[in-house]
Amino acid sequence: MSKPLEGVRVVELANFIAAAAAGRFMADLGADVIKIEAPKGDPLRYTAPSEGRPLNMHENTTWDLENGNKRCASINLKNPAGKEAFFKLLDTADVLITNWRVQALQKMGLDYDSLKGKYPKLVYAICTGYGEYGPDKNLPGFDFTAFFSRGGYLDSLRQKGTVPMNVVPGLGDHNVGMNLVAGILAALYQAKIKGVGEKVETSLFESAIYNMGMMVQASNYEGIAQNYPIDVRKSANPFNAAWRTKDDRFIQTCMPDYNTYYKIFIKAIGREDLVDNENYFPILTCQKKGLTPEVYDIVMEAFSKKTVDEWKKILVEADVPFAVAQNWMEIRNDKQAEANNCFYDMKYSTGNTRRLVRLPVKFQEMGVPDYKPGPMIGEQGPEVLKDLGYSDAQVKEMMENGALFVWKDDQKK
């Protein structure tokens, strides 16, 4: 099975999720992605309590999601021998991915300006919380803060008068990781064709702004965008809403052109008596008369009289765009997701089999990539150094002087 990135070497000097997601995508495509990790381990290894999972190095679903198919070397960059080994590794690399803060990179001589002269063909990829410039460039950034909060999700996408929605880790990070890898692949193509390296940058904040682009731009004008957060009952289009069913589930409908769907939808909900109602159709008449809340209430009342399964049949038959609001357990067993290879059932050494999520981009000729668990801390470190020409004796010496570390089962965080 030929893979598009076979022969490409990526050095990943990063922790947590966003940068790691970019490296994971490249690893799935055949790149040799070598993660550089501290002896205590990436903090992502220890997030199990906040996710309700057991804290177990041998069954770490979050770690595998972001770091499957990679190799790991735990090299101490503060040790002269370790730093020398890192630069020897960088000599062989096509891509460096990092999410370290710029001042930390500068201190270690690993910022772009320090490396570009020595590695003119290197693709240098960095993601940050808020971008590399401006007054807040050095602030710590997570997707809860830089993406969801400052990027407009929490204040805009809440029901007016309520607290912001609950958010979960990884959503913003995965978005940023895929943005970063898109830039990496473009720069890598240039490096291979023209022999010219490039610096690629994105951030949680910048990605959120792009995602919100339509409404950020709409806020140039007086009107709905300037009025968010809104009461969905009073929104401009009452058909773009979530409806509570008799069995306390929600069904989201989306009908961007109210006029196109009005008669179809009103008939589907059993209100044939309103098909020709001149107060509710067309949308401009409804808005002018201030009756969009009334339409919303009519639809909500109708949905409350049938179960989610009953409504699914009705809406499918009417060809109305909708989806049931699913929980994570339902997603994990969704037949549509299974049919499109969204999952991998990992058999762990603990004896448990857990369903893991695959990356969302598929390649026809390459086929579905293997899914190897994420590496233990420094698991392939000796192997990586031997690839660089180090002898067994040199590797042993580096482990003894703390320049290289390999985690063992009897070692703790």
Has residue 412 got a pLDDT over 80? no
Structure-token pair, residue 242: 């979530």
Interval 338-384: pLDDT, tens: 999 999 999 999 999 999 999 999 999 999 999 999 999 999 999 99
Residues for the chain: how many in total?
413
Annotate 240-260 with DSSP letters as a single string: SSEEE-TTS-EEEE--SSHHH
CB 265 within 8 A of CB 320: yes
Confidence at residue 224, expressed as pLDDT on a 0 to 100 scale: 84
Q: What is the reported pLDDT for 410?
A: 64
Whether 231-329 and 9-211+345-405 are alike in CATH topology: the answer is no
3-class secondary-structure state, position 330: helix
The closest alpha carbon to 319, from 381, 253, 258, belongs to: 253
Q: What residue segments make up the domains of the chain, in order of their start?
A: 9-211+345-405, 231-329
Please state which CATH number belongs to domain 231-329: 3.30.1540.10
CA contacts within 13 A on the Cβ side of 82: 21
Q: What is the mean pLDDT of residues 93-109?
A: 95
Distances (CA, A) of 108 to 11, 76, 112, 366, 403: 16, 12, 11, 39, 15
Looking at the structure, give the CATH architecture of the domain made up of residues 9-211+345-405. 3-Layer(aba) Sandwich (3.40)
Catalytic residues: 173
At residue 405, the 3 state secondary structure works out as strand
Give pLDDT tens digits for 387-407. Answer: 999 999 999 999 999 999 999
pLDDT, tens digit, 9 for 90 and up, residues 32-87: 999 999 999 999 999 999 999 999 999 999 999 999 999 999 999 999 999 999 99
